[in-house]
Amino acid sequence: RALPSFEFRCTARTWAYVAGGREGLVIWIACRAELSRRLHRNEDAIQAYQRALELTNQVSQRRFLEGRLAGLLRHRTGQPGR
């Protein structure tokens, strides 16, 4: 039930940014990554987080994306979390 709500909010918040160029694209891809992660589509999420990292230069966005990506990579390799 919460997932469709998240998907709508993610889409509604970022749609206006997409026309704004690169920054909007990063947010859109990050939302796709987060949705994939929540759906346990980890490989799709990993690819999307990696793509968002390629596109952003903002330190706070990079930290968030790197943290999410690291968690998925730990899960993939079976390493324990922090």
Q: For residue 69, is pLDDT > 80? A: yes
- Average confidence (pLDDT) over 5-23: 55
Rounded to 5 degrees, φ, ψ at 20 are -80, 0
* Cβ–Cβ under 8 Å, residues 10 and 29: no
The greatest distance separating any two alpha carbons of the chain, rounded to the nearest whole angstrom, comes to 40
Q: For residue 52, is pLDDT > 70? A: yes
- Average confidence (pLDDT) over 41-58: 93
Joined together, the tokens standing for residue 53 give 């990292």
Q: Read off the pLDDT band of 64 (50, 70, 90).
A: very high
- Average confidence (pLDDT) over 20-45: 84
Give residue 13's pLDDT.
57
Which three-class secondary structure string do you get for 45-60? HHHHHHHHHHHCCCHH
pTM for this model (two decimals): 0.71
User: Which alpha helices (H) appear in the chain, and where do they start and end?
Assistant: 2-18, 22-38, 42-55, 59-77
